[in-house]
Every structure is written in C-alpha cells, then in structure tokens.
Chain A
C-alpha cells in the first residue's frame, strides 16, 4: 500500500519537473512548504494544474490525502518514514538477540571479539557494527571412527604387536565459543584426527586381551584424557565428554582361532564339571559304605559270633537258593558234573558268540 501510494507521488514529481522546465519555480513547489492553505484550491482554478487535480483525486481515492495542503508535502515524509521504519526494524532485528539456554553468542564488533552473550535477551550494536555468532555449547556432538559393520575394519596395532579391529565414538561439546571460533581452522577435522592419534597411542600400550576384554574402560578414559590434553594445547575450546569403544574385536581373518580359544575354555570347564561330579559320587559312595559298615560293626561287636553266623547263613541262603547245586556226599565218589546242563548252556553261548 505504501509503495502504491509512493508511486503516484514520484510520478507527480517527474511530471512537475517536466512541466516546470521553463522556469525554476516548478520543481521548487514540492520542496518548499506550502505558501498558504489556499494554494491547493487555487490549483484547480488555474488551467495547467489539471494533472494536479487528477493526482489529488487519485490520492483521495487511496485515502492518503487528508487535510487541505498536507498531501503535498506528505510525499516526502512518507518516503522518509518508510526509510526510518526500515531502519528501526533493521536496528531492532540486528541488535536484539535471543540466546537460548544452551547457547552463547559471540559478539564481533567490526571483526573484533568484544564479548560473549549469556542466555536471555541481549543487545548489541546494529548489524554492520556488531555481528553475533550463536554457538550451541550444550549440544553434545559425536564423531564416529570406524564402523561396527562386518565389511569394514579399522585395524590397529596393540602393544603386543597384535591387530585389533576397533570402532569407537567421541562425544564433545564446545567449551569456549570464542576459542572454538578463532583457534582452529577445521575444528571438527582436528577433533577426529586427535581422536585417531590418541586412540592408537593408547591401544599401542595395552595388550590385545586387555583391549578386547577388561581393559576397555581404562582405554576409554585414557583416550579421553589424552585428547583433552592435546586439544587444550591447541586452545581449541572443546571439551571431550567421553570416548566410547563400540567394538573391539580381533580381525575377521583370525576370528576363527579366537573362537577356538573360547571353545577350549568351555571344554576345560566341561572337564572340570565332569570330574567334580565324579568326585562327589566317589566321596558320597565311600561315606555311605563306611557308614553302613560302621553301623553293622557296632552291632557285631555286641555279639560277634552270632552275628557273624547269621550274616553267613543269610548270604548263603540267598546265594545258593538261586544257583544250581550239586552236593557230593560220599567221599571217594567221582563227582559227575551235570553235563546235560553244561551242554544246555554251552550252545546258547557259542551261538551268541558266533555271529
């Protein structure tokens, strides 16, 4: 709407100039304050002001023309107002800064670092003078190195000259936004390289078994510490939150042998279990038999002869009642063995043995 209003006014100015080329009075008219309120009504009375009249009417139709003489100089102020409004908007937009809870704003005054904004509403000089770069210092960023995927390996040498396949991630955040912005040419790349270097240095001091097994936590803390030291050396404004080893495996090429080791461990445990079971069995049996003997012996001691005979007869009774018996009564008689019985038993045995 403003532009549309401005359009005709600009056009009017041009027309005025064209009309006033004969005399210097023409262009002066829009610039100078109106001589009197009667100026305007005089316009329509004079012939040449027909254009004025047309414009006035169009202006009234647009509703911008209010009082008698106002619209005449109104053209200038509106243009100015627009500019002023733009300027104010500009200043408002570029000098108020809302900094989030996890953010900090680094103020650059004509390129020069002049302070850091804390969370909340902050003010600065408008744009060409102050530039504010927001940095999220609460956000934890993660760099992944190596991959847990089966087809990619990130091999490194351990202290005992073995090779391990490692994948890990480093979490970090910005500690000092100004240092972070001004100190390192490529902060993220730097962090990644420092991580690789630190990890390899630490892994180079531990054995493969430690790296795969119990030493992981130790490695993680050492790497984080080392990285922090290096990055502090660079004054990078970065804080390492943690280093996490996501995978620490022997390389795929030797994985089979490693599995064999754990297989052997299982096997060894199996041997132990079996032998323990046997031990339990043997011990329990010995104790049981000994206890039984003790009981019987206690009774036996009370009446040795009778008990002995009784046990003898009981056993014999039981044994001899189930077996074939031949008693050779008279001395000197050739004891014929019951061959029919033996023969009866023998074919059965040989038949059983033959096939």
Chain B
C-alpha cells in the first residue's frame, strides 16, 4: 500500500468488500431443506438442486450451500413440502338424486421441479390448475354412486379413483398427488336438511311410542303372571278341602258384607234358621 492509495484506503476497502460480498451472494446460495430449485441460465433451465426424492433422508438430498455463475444463473425456488389444494364446496348429485355438499382437499408435492417450472412456473399455479380438475373429478365420481354408499367405507375406493385421475393431470405439471380426501359431506341447507330432520323426528316419535307400548305390555304380563301365581297358591291351599273352604269363605264373606259394608242392614230371620235352631227350644 503506497501513500496516495492509503488516503482512500477505507473507501476502497469498503467498495471492494461490498463488491466481493455481492459477488459471493450471487455466486453462493443457501438451499433450504424445504425448497427445491431450478437453476436457470438465460431463461434456460440447466440444473435442479435439492430435488424431492421419495423416502429420501433429510440432510442428504442436496440442501446446503451451492455455487453458480454469478449474475447469469437465476434460481427459481419451488416448495418441496406437501402442499394443499383447497377446493370450493361442490354440490354433488348422487344417482338417487340426493344432493350433497362436499368439501374435499388434495395434498400434492412437486416431484419434478423442471417440469413444473416449464409448464406452470410455480407451485401456486399448479394448485390453481389442479383445483377445478379436482372439483369436476369429484362430481363425476360421486355422481356415479348412490347416496348411502357415499357414507360407506367404499368411499375409499372412490377416493382412489379420483386420486388416480388427478394424478394423471398433476404429472403433467411435475406434481404428485399425495392424498385426496373428503373433508365434509353434508346435506344442503333448506329442504334436504329439513326433510332429514323430519325423518329423524318421526323415527324418534315411533321409537318413543314403541317403548311406551312395550312398557305397557311388559307391565301387563307381570300383573297377569302375579294373578296366576296367586290363583295357584290359593288352589293349592284351598283345594285340600273344598267343603271347608266353602264354609270358611262364607264366614269371611258375611263379616265383610254385613260389618264392613255400607248402609243399614235389616235381617228378617225365620225361626227355622240354623242359627236360631236352639232359640226355638230343643223340643222341636
């Protein structure tokens, strides 16, 4: 360093440093684990960094520091993670003409960044293009089956069909559909929902009446059984001497009728009455 330069030394140093930094920044790039990049030279893609590999382990897929030609190579970043296609609510008509509001979602990831870059530029575009296809695929597939099956476990098969169909399209954009699922499947507001409520209501009314009737029936059976048991008990006991029972029961009955009964009682007795046998004297 000579004397004249040293006067501007800090300035030169700063400028040099900044230039160097700029160069470094445009040469080196940090590739995060969550992204994959397409290196584009003058608009032409020349390389892919940190490309998604199925079941690849993190830390070994190409993330980290990379170098490129400064100012010439651009990196187009694409998300490497599983992303979401949120679909607008679709009204689906089943084969038995029942309407159902369906919310579904699909999960996708970019597996071929180059293709994505060429056909759709970025992942948002991919999602935008897949969204209407998901909607129509859903309507088509669900429109082929009856309402009851929509709720059944067979739905898995339908979902697989939709996923396969969607995957064919997604592959054109370098994407892969990870999963398609129905989030909600509801009856639309208004008449369908109301009639479903009405059906539930009437089913419950019926259940309530059935339970009531069954209760009455059970109660009646219990009473009848008790009566029968009592009759058996009486018969077993009284049947030992029917004649004595006649007498015994008559005595009970007299007490009950004349003593505990209502109203005055007048008895006109004939002297020939058994009770008055002695009254008239033995000499008869």
Contact = CB atoms under 8 A, between A and B. Distances in A.
B183 interface: yes
A112 interface: yes
B251 interface: yes
Contacts of B25: none
Which of A234, A256, A268, A269 has the most chain B CB atoms closer than 10 A to its own CB? A268
B148 interface: yes
A342 B65 CA distance: 128
A114 to B, nearest CB: 6
Given A157-B185, A230-B179, A319-B255, A286 B234 contact: yes
A253 interface: yes
Interface residues of A, number: 104
Nearest to A291: B237
A184 B269 CA distance: 110
A312 B276 CA distance: 12
A324 B266 contact: yes
Interface string B75-109: 00001111110000000000000000000010100
A254 B155 CA distance: 28
B119 interface: no
A112 B63 contact: yes
Given A204-B151, A234-B178, A27 B241 contact: no
Which of B83, B183, B223 has the most chain A CB atoms closer than 10 A to its own CB? B183
Contacts of A194: 181
Contacts of B236: 290
Which of A230, A256, A297 has the most chain B CB atoms closer than 10 A to its own CB? A297
B82 A290 contact: no
B58 A113 contact: yes
A111 B275 contact: no
Contact of B241 (A204, A254, A297): A297
A113 B151 contact: no
A206 to B, nearest CB: 10
The secondary-structure label for the interface of chain B is helix
A210 to B, nearest CB: 14
B205 A159 contact: no
Nearest to A176: B58
Interface in B200-221: 200-201, 203-205, 207-209, 211-212, 214-216, 218-220
A268 B247 contact: no
Given A156-B186, A184-B82, A279-B225, A328 B270 contact: yes
A312 B187 CA distance: 83
A345 B225 CA distance: 44
A139 interface: no
A318 B223 CA distance: 36
Contacts of B33: 108, 111-113, 181-182
A286 B258 contact: no
A105 interface: no
Interface string B249-278: 001001100110001111111110011100
Interface stretch (A47-55, A76-84, A87-95, A185-193): A185-193
Interface string B228-249: 0111011011101100110110
Contacts of A270: 215
Contact of A286 (B6, B187, B230): B230
A272 B226 CA distance: 13
Interface stretch (A37-45, A63-71, A117-125, A195-203): A195-203
B268 A285 contact: no
B268 to A, nearest CB: 5
A264 B211 contact: yes
A257 interface: yes
Contact of A200 (B182, B207, B275, B276): B182
B118 interface: no
Nearest to B196: A163
B59 interface: yes
B82 A282 contact: no
Given A293-B248, A319-B255, A324-B266, A283 B30 contact: no
B204 A278 contact: no
28 contacts: A113-B59, A157-B151, A163-B197, A178-B58, A182-B58, A185-B81, A197-B182, A201-B182, A253-B197, A257-B201, A264-B209, A267-B215, A268-B211, A268-B212, A276-B222, A278-B222, A278-B226, A279-B222, A280-B226, A286-B230, A293-B238, A308-B247, A312-B274, A319-B255, A322-B258, A322-B259, A328-B268, A328-B269
Given A323-B267, A327-B279, 18 more contacts: A109-B64, A157-B186, A162-B196, A162-B200, A182-B80, A200-B185, A201-B182, A204-B151, A204-B152, A208-B200, A257-B205, A279-B229, A286-B231, A290-B238, A319-B255, A324-B264, A326-B268, A327-B268
Interface of A: 17, 24, 27, 108-115, 155-159, 161-163, 178-179, 181-186, 189-190, 193-194, 196-197, 200-201, 204-205, 208, 230, 233-234, 236, 250-251, 253-254, 256-258, 260-261, 263-265, 267-272, 274-276, 278-280, 282-283, 285-287, 289-291, 293-294, 296-297, 300-301, 304, 308, 311-313, 315-316, 318-320, 322-329, 335, 337-338, 341-342, 345
